Amino acid sequence: MLEPLLAGTHISLEKHSKARNKGVATAPRATGTALLVVPALSTALLQAAKGRRCDNCHRLELGNVRLRKCTGCASYWYCGRECQSLQWKAHHKRICKQYPRYTASAEYQGLSSHDQVDAVLLSHLLAEAFPDGLYTLAAGKGGLLDIFLDLLSGPATHPSSLPVSLGQQVTDPTLVTAARELYARFGNNNFVVHSHLDSYAHGVFPLASRLFNHSCVPNAVTRYIITPSEAVRMEVIALRDIAEGEEVTIPYLDPALPVETRQQALRLNYGFTCTCLSCRVAQRMQPTPPPHRGSTELDELEDQLRRYVLDIVGTVVGLRDDPGLLESMPESLAPVLYESYLPELSETFSKASHDGPHAEALSIGLTLLALYALVYPPNYPQIGMHALELAKTAWNATVTDSELMAPSALEEAAKAYLSIAAHVLNIYGGEGDEGGPLAEISVLRRML
């Protein structure tokens, strides 16, 4: 079933001791390579994106792109006739009438916002999978529905938690069974779709779900490509060189979350205990709370962290090219892995970079960069996004806060952060809408 879809991908499906199967590279793959490119089988926009993006191809209403509302339900928006017609045939003609009533129902309103999007996604999928309302899989989807139904089901989905679906009135018992089978695979297989790393939809990508297991130190990540009148495309990008025979892994959640949060979410939503390097190190360290902000002890700890992870020469900062940093980190640094430390650092940086003082933003931001470079694998996009924020903060300081340090030193710092951002984000490449971080880097480069 999978072979034709894997042709030309350099990925094969192998046995895995705990996870049934794994996707393995059949040839060496270089950093930044797209290891898999697959269109979405089905998607549903988050509520915040409804009316702002085309429901079919996800383009934003911007410039020449104007969205038109479906006159039937007044709840789906399209950037043109082609998208409207494609989605009408795919599922909307079986959903349009019931949608307003369904989304106003107590049943739907009682769901969390995450489950509401999944309920609509299930409706799309069900309408596509069983177009006649009969329990016979639709043909012509390249076997993707079969692959979806062949996925492992998640532990969290209780059969009674099936959200009533609108495609067909789901009363036919065989169809209810089918809906349950589809829905049981949602929680641990579906993806959150993003543009510039900002979530805007949920999506079903069966082949990627079938192939890739989780690691908190993954060697690949997903990005999403929006093309007018086409289904959004997922690309799985190598974060580093991957050897022949090596398993390709992606993160199912943010690897910077505290280890206990990750472990619990992976157990509850995906049904496995993560034993990756990052989890093993964090569990071995048993982090205690760090000293309070403002104390000499915290200053010393943060200084040690920055010196351990970064190359700092004057105001010029670089990332150390050493993938073993996490594994061999000294025990004295353990408090930086404490659960509240990163969120507190990130919040303080955000506040200071917006409201000042810039000196505090630059100092905290540098510590946060060191922490990101420790807990994320090399070239992880969030490292680049944060380096870009730091470059903008240093640039703003040259304009608004010339007392802080010599403008030339601030410019030098901004250039160094920008070069980290460019390096990391060029590996990730552009995703989603036009503009975004790569465009911001070009603008800032011209100004510096």
Ligand X SMILES: C[S@@+](CC[C@H](N)C(=O)[O-])C[C@H]1O[C@@H](n2cnc3c(N)ncnc32)[C@H](O)[C@@H]1O
By CB under 6 A, residue 151 contacts ligand X: yes
Binding mask 158-197 for ligand X (x = CB under 6 A): ------------------------------xx--------
By CB under 6 A, residue 446 contacts ligand X: no
Binder to ligand X among 108, 135, 272, 338 (CB under 6 A)? 272
Q: Looking at 24-32, 127-135, 149-157, 325-333, which segment touches ligand X (CB under 6 A)?
A: 149-157
E strands along 303-356, which residues? 310-313, 316-319
Residue entry with tokens 């036919």: 172
Closer to ligand X by Cβ: residue 59 or 214: 214
Q: Looking at 48-56, 147-155, 420-428, 429-437, which segment touches ligand X (CB under 6 A)?
A: 147-155
Closer to ligand X by Cβ: residue 102 or 191: 191
* Rounded least distance, CB 163 to ligand X, Å: 20
Q: Looking at 59-67, 148-156, 290-298, 415-423, which segment touches ligand X (CB under 6 A)?
A: 148-156
Question: In this structure, what token pair is assigned to residue 323?
Answer: 């993938």
List Cβ<8 Å contacts ≥24 apart for 329-332: 329/281, 329/285, 329/374, 330/304, 331/285, 332/301, 332/304
By CB under 6 A, residue 210 contacts ligand X: yes
List, as one string, the DSSP characters of 46-63. -GGGBTTB-TTT--BSBT
Q: Residue 274 and residue 257: Cα distance in Å, rounded?
A: 13
- Residue in 423, 309, 325 with CA at minimum distance from that of residue 368: 309
By CB under 6 A, residue 263 contacts ligand X: no
Binder to ligand X among 274, 362, 366, 410 (CB under 6 A)? 274
Binder to ligand X among 94, 196, 214, 223 (CB under 6 A)? 214
* Rounded least distance, CB 58 to ligand X, Å: 22
Binder to ligand X among 88, 270, 349, 372 (CB under 6 A)? 270
Binder to ligand X among 32, 142, 228, 271 (CB under 6 A)? 271
Q: Report how many residues bind ligand X under the rule CB under 6 A.
A: 18
* Rounded least distance, CB 115 to ligand X, Å: 18
Contacts of 164 (CB under 8 A, 6+ apart): 102, 105, 107, 108, 119, 170
Neighbours of 62 (CB within 10 A): 13
Q: Residue 186 and residue 167: Cα distance in Å, rounded?
A: 17
- Bridge-based pairing of strands 34-39 and 233-238 is antiparallel
User: In the sheet where 42-45 sits, what is the strand order?
Assistant: 42-45, 198-204, 191-195
Binder to ligand X among 19, 37, 192, 409 (CB under 6 A)? 19
Residue entry with tokens 């911007």: 62
- Residue in 107, 102, 105, 92 with CA at minimum distance from that of residue 42: 92
Q: Looking at 137-145, 206-214, 388-396, 437-445, which segment touches ligand X (CB under 6 A)?
A: 206-214
Q: Residue 169 and residue 437: Cα distance in Å, rounded?
A: 44
* Rounded least distance, CB 42 to ligand X, Å: 16
Q: Residue 379 and residue 268: Cα distance in Å, rounded?
A: 29
Closer to ligand X by Cβ: residue 54 or 211: 211
By CB under 6 A, residue 262 contacts ligand X: no
Q: Looking at 17-25, 40-48, 254-262, 287-295, which segment touches ligand X (CB under 6 A)?
A: 17-25
Binder to ligand X among 213, 222, 348, 353 (CB under 6 A)? 213
Residue entry with tokens 């959903």: 95
- Bridge-based pairing of strands 233-238 and 220-225 is antiparallel
By CB under 6 A, residue 1 contacts ligand X: no
Q: Cα separations (Å) of 198 from 33, 176, 226, 292?
A: 22, 34, 14, 32
Q: Looking at 69-77, 86-94, 140-148, 269-277, which segment touches ligand X (CB under 6 A)?
A: 269-277
Closer to ligand X by Cβ: residue 189 or 367: 189
* Rounded least distance, CB 213 to ligand X, Å: 3
Closer to ligand X by Cβ: residue 19 or 298: 19
Contacts of 182 (CB under 8 A, 6+ apart): 122, 125, 126, 129, 148, 149
By CB under 6 A, residue 209 contacts ligand X: yes
Interface residues with ligand X (CB under 6 A) are 16, 18-21, 151-152, 154, 188-189, 209-210, 213-214, 270-272, 274
